[in-house]
Structure 1
Amino acid sequence: MSSTATTSTISSAAFVDRRAVIDWLGIAPFTIFALLFLIAPTIYLVAGAFLTPEGAFTLQNIADLFTPTILSAYWVSIKVSVASALGGGIIGFFLAWAIVFGGLPSWIRHGLLTFSGVASNFAGVPLAFAFLATLGRTGLVTVFLRNWFDFNLYSTGFNLLSFLGLTITYMYFQIPLMVLILTPALDGMKKEWREAASILGATNRQYWRMVAFPILWPSLLGTTLLLFANAFGAIATAFALTGSSLNIVPILLYAQIRGDVLHNANLGYALALGMIVITGVSNIIYIMLRMRAERWQK
């Protein structure tokens, strides 16, 4: 009897060990991918930010981040990111609200969510070309307004290759990203909360001001920070749309590493380190706020 129990225990332990090995093998490809293409490059550029081209330790690259040109690039990048995050957040919130509470047919909800999933990943050269073909000087909308309404969009001072133009372009993928992240938070609003507020005599405005918004506020603020980080690190769309005409950090970083006359790759690493710090802080705050929002909704 004892021998049978011992054999059963050994078999169970072997089965558990095999399951553990299979589980680890399952996550091995992702772990290797993350190490090779995320963690190792990050460690490399962080180390390079404190080195000279000859390999000696220096703080000059960090000090150069505070020169007027680089500070201006950071400031422009922050302004574009804030503007597109706020614009995308506000429009995305009302669109998500319409999807969840607007009484739309289910096929419209599914269609909007599907489109948001596609549009939130539509960036880079294709997005820049789409906006140039739409709002460029000879774009479809520009020509339509000029020929049919005798309105020259560019006579108002609008320029697609500018701060405003880049912000509008970024909002194309910021709005659907806000919809995708915020829709589950709105779905998590319990009907009992509204019913309890109505029983206590609260109006719809009071419900949203005193119940819904305090609960949704961490999700709203956290998602807006995520949109900020998303825009701050974007380079392909900005470079394809404006080239070097707009002084933002990703383009300046690209110039330092690949095509700048001075070609100071280590300064480029320092620029990337500054971007990592800013986006990292944004993402950490987003995660903290999301955890708080999830606790509220439980």
Structure 2
Amino acid sequence: MTSTLTTPAASRTGSGKRRGRAPGAGPDARPRRRRAPAWLAAVPLLAFTAVAFGVPAIAMLGGAFTVDDPAGGPASYGTGNLATSLQGAYLTALIGSVKLSATAAVLAALLGLPLAQAVVTGSRALREAVLTASGVLANFGGVPLAFAFVATLGNAGVLTRHLGLADKGWSLYSFWGLVVVYLYFLVPLMVLTITPALDGLRTQWREAARSNGATTVQYWRHVALPVLLPSLLGGLVLLFGSAFAAYATAAAMVGSAVPLVTLQISDALSGNVLVGQENVALALSLDMVVVAGLVMAVYLPLQRRSSRWLA
């Protein structure tokens, strides 16, 4: 009896190659495409940022350090504009903006924290309604907001006449009047900012505090507020920056009645007070950038610290 053995070589054709497969290729060998680096996806955003922020920043720096010759000679580089921006009415306006922004930010933080806590502990419908309204009101400003308050709390406003506020010394076109207007969009912004941090407070912490006999006040004083402090300070910094950069509402409502750096920049650029002060306006803008940079230098470490606690 003759038996036929089939060897691996017998299943190959011709020169020993498997039919339809390249020599040396594995069973899963497929042509691979080289993938582009992941950072290429961010190139359009980086280019837009460079154009939208970089070009104005360079122009601002160039103008702030360009000093014009009063005699009509060629301009030179120096710190004369910066020195002028920190003197007289310009310095008063810068201090006024810092004072107004700090006052409005502190009051908005004090009012926004309990409101955000009520939203967190309330029903889902209340939470969605308040957060949606806060998102709208936090971005509502400018001339429409000024007109709304003038019609309501101005010298001839509805509430001013019905409540007799004018006889009690109330004036919307003052420092505290502007603070009230700023609270209209700063309090909703605080609610949006602090709500995620309040969501991060674990229920186990409150239960553990109650198990040890702590009251609600003691829980907030010794547990919740120390954990929330970085987020609270970060929100306070964010509110300060938002109020510090506001312009249209104050310009439409108080004009030059309240000295603010944004209004001084507008007057210097348009030549309402003195002609040829455009570079001083750019120096004032640089002062605002420095203040905003200091604010962000405080905000970023606080944000990182709060994220570690509430993660």
Cα drift, residue 295 of structure 1: 0.5
Question: Structure 2 vs 1, CA of residues 67 and 109 (structure 1 numbering), >3 Å: closer, same or farther?
Answer: same
1:188 to 196, 200, 204: 200
Question: Structure 2 vs 1, CA of residues 74 and 192 (structure 1 numbering), >3 Å: closer, same or farther?
Answer: same
1:165 to 152, 177, 185: 177
Match of residue 147 from structure 2: 129
How many corresponding residue pairs? 283
> What's the CA shift string for 1:238-265, capped at 9, x where partnerless?
1111122221100001111123332311
Match of residue 108 from structure 1: 126
1:275 counterpart = 2:310: no
Bigger-Rg structure (1/2): 2
Cα drift, residue 194 of structure 1: 1.2
1:80 counterpart = 2:100: yes
Q: Contact conserved, 2:271 with 2:277, CA < 8 A, in 1?
A: no
Cα drift, residue 5 of structure 1: 8.9
Q: Contact conserved, 2:67 with 2:79, CA < 8 A, in 1?
A: no
Question: Structure 2 vs 1, CA of residues 2 and 95 (structure 1 numbering), >3 Å: closer, same or farther?
Answer: farther
Distance 2:268 2:156 in 1: 32
> What's the CA shift string for 1:201-248, capped at 9, x where partnerless?
222221111111100001101110110111111111111111222211
Match of residue 46 from structure 1: 61
> Which shifted more, 42-51 or 214-223?
42-51
Match of residue 148 from structure 1: none
List gaps (5 residues or longer) in structure 1: 146-151
Matches within 5 A, 1:144-163: 144-145=162-163, 152-163=164-175
Distance 1:82 1:276 in 2: 16
Cα drift, residue 160 of structure 1: 0.9
1:24 to 25, 40, 45: 40
1:61 counterpart = 2:81: yes
Cα drift, residue 76 of structure 1: 0.9
Cα drift, residue 62 of structure 1: 1.2
1:11 to 20, 26, 32: 32
Residue 89 of structure 2 aligns with an amino acid whose one-letter code is: T
TM-score (normalizing by structure 1): 0.89
Matches within 5 A, 1:281-292: 281-292=294-305
> What's the CA shift string for 1:144-177, capped at 9, x where partnerless?
22xxxxxx21222221111111111111110000
Residue 135 of structure 1 aligns with an amino acid whose one-letter code is: L
> What's the CA shift string for 1:84-140, capped at 9, x where partnerless?
101111111110011113xx2321211110000000000111111111111111112
SS in 1 for 2:276: coil
Question: Structure 2 vs 1, CA of residues 94 and 52 (structure 1 numbering), >3 Å: closer, same or farther?
Answer: same
Distance 2:84 2:27 in 1: 70
SS in 2 for 1:39: helix
Residue 209 of structure 1 aligns with an amino acid whose one-letter code is: R
SS in 2 for 1:11: coil
Question: Structure 2 vs 1, CA of residues 245 and 197 (structure 1 numbering), >3 Å: closer, same or farther?
Answer: same
More helix by share: 1
List gaps (5 residues or longer) in structure 2: 1-22, 69-73
Residue 285 of structure 1 aligns with an amino acid whose one-letter code is: V
Match of residue 263 from structure 1: 276
Residue 236 of structure 2 aligns with an amino acid whose one-letter code is: T
Residue 49 of structure 1 aligns with an amino acid whose one-letter code is: A
Which structure is richer in relative contact order (CA contacts within 8 A, separation 6 or more)? 1
2:306 to 262, 277, 293: 293
TM-score (normalizing by structure 2): 0.85
Question: Structure 2 vs 1, CA of residues 139 and 57 (structure 1 numbering), >3 Å: closer, same or farther?
Answer: same
Match of residue 238 from structure 2: 226
Distance 2:117 2:253 in 1: 32
